[in-house]
Structure 1
Amino acid sequence: MIGPTHELLPEATNPQPGRIVFLNGASSSGKSTVAEELLRTLDGAWYHLAVDHYHRARSRHDWSEEEFLPIFQRTVRGFHRVVAGMASAGNDVVVDHILGERWRVVDCLETFAGLPVYLVGVHCALPELERREQARGNRTIGRAALQFPIVHQDLRYDVEVHTDQQTAQDSAAQIAARLSKPPTAFEQLRAAGPSRS
């Protein structure tokens, strides 16, 4: 049993950075399902961090769009720093996110500098996204259609999965196989510079 008298272990004070498996895809594309399958099958301790959980944590108010935008952007930037902090402390993390705007990509490239990030494109055809959105009943209708043309724009990936064509198990296996080699997508994006407006 862990109690207050235990000292901080040496291996906890200066660890190797943890890996970040960064799932990017539109709302209802299956990121959370793939993330949970990864946690079930990958070796070691992995943590699933989803940006949606942080948006839910905010208090509810009737903000105008002008009032809400900086709150929203601070939340997303804060989420990036939570992910970076977990990985910097040596934890392996599966991230569930939507890179729908250039500032998000730029902030990730800056915040995750020096960390091993495997950028994963989670693809799904628009008709299936819309079907899932309707079926779930807890999604804003039309959000997936708005995100669909921009969420993968100008990005490069270490691995890409298609959740309308393969199971979560197959997607997770494909991602897990890629972890045997160093990631390259974030470095390529840094070199190219994201061109999205």
Structure 2
Amino acid sequence: MAPRRGLVIFLSGTSSSGKSSIAAELLHVLDEPYFHMSADAFHAMRTRKKFPPDRLDEILHRTWQGFHRAIAGMAGAGNNVVVDHVLSADWRLADCLAVLDPRDVVFVGVRCPLAELERRERERGDRPSGLAARQWKQVHAHGVYDIECDTSRSDPLECAHLIRDFLPGRPAPTAFERLRARD
């Protein structure tokens, strides 16, 4: 059997922007099998043991790097993946650009106005107050996506349909190819 490369639908947005809800809907509307790989789920696999604050950044950095390589491993083995991720540090996007095959990534900007993000954050109650606001500028700073959706205007199912309908005619070079060439 000829090796196949998996497609990565990479949802990028702040906390509370709706990435996980869109990912759940994508699993229902896409014809091929996909795996949802969430940064939150990946972090939830780590022990709950408390670590000294001076070690926390190192531990989190390695966790994110492992997450990126797990995505690349799944796609490299021919699996389709829906990723939901918060690119709130420059090095995270750079690392993803380095380890993922840019031809196989559909980079989706998941946007939402800050006031709505803050409202959702308060309603959820499971995120630190102001988290989305702290991530707001950095997450979309690179400015390049294959497709974008605004979750204040479209519900998760509508966003999932928009993404699904985009896939057959996705352009080349991809956003990841353009970002890699730029950086």
Q: Tell me which stretches of 4 or more aligned residues in structure 1 moved more than 3 Å.
A: none
Deviation, 1:130, is 0.8
In the alignment, which residue of structure 2 is the partner of 1:185? Answer: 175
TM superposition score normalised by structure 1: 0.88
- Work out which of the residue numbers 63, 87, 93 in structure 1 matches 2:81: 93
RMSD: 1.3
In the alignment, which residue of structure 1 is the partner of 2:34? Answer: 46
Write the distance in 2 (CA, Å) between the matches of 1:15 and 1:155. Answer: 33
In the alignment, which residue of structure 1 is the partner of 2:11? Answer: 23
In the alignment, which residue of structure 2 is the partner of 1:152? Answer: 140
The one-letter code matched in structure 1 to 2:72 is A
Alpha-carbon distance change, 48 to 109 in structure 1, aligned in 2, over 3 angstroms: same
Instruction: List runs of 5+ in structure 1 lacking aligned partners.
Output: 1-10
Alpha-carbon distance change, 187 to 69 in structure 1, aligned in 2, over 3 angstroms: same
Which shifted more, 172-181 or 160-169?
172-181
Query: For this pair of structures, how many residues does the alignment match?
Result: 181
Check conservation: 2:102, 2:177, Cα contact below 8 A: no
Write the distance in 1 (CA, Å) between the matches of 2:103 and 2:38. Answer: 18
Secondary structure of residue in 2 paired with 1:179: helix
Deviation, 1:182, is 4.3
Deviation, 1:115, is 5.0
Check conservation: 2:102, 2:176, Cα contact below 8 A: no
- Work out which of the residue numbers 92, 96, 105 in structure 2 matches 1:104: 92
Per-residue CA distance 1:70-120 (angstroms, 9 max, x = gap): 100100000011111111111110001011111101110110035500000
Identity rate, percent: 46
Check conservation: 2:88, 2:138, Cα contact below 8 A: yes
Check conservation: 2:5, 2:75, Cα contact below 8 A: yes
Write the distance in 2 (CA, Å) between the matches of 1:53 and 1:134. Answer: 21
Instruction: List runs of 5+ in structure 2 lacking aligned partners.
Output: none
TM superposition score normalised by structure 2: 0.94
Larger Cα-atom Rg: 1
Write the distance in 1 (CA, Å) between the matches of 2:81 and 2:167. Answer: 13
Per-residue CA distance 1:142-186 (angstroms, 9 max, x = gap): 111100111100231000000011111211111112211245100
In the alignment, which residue of structure 1 is the partner of 2:46? Answer: 58
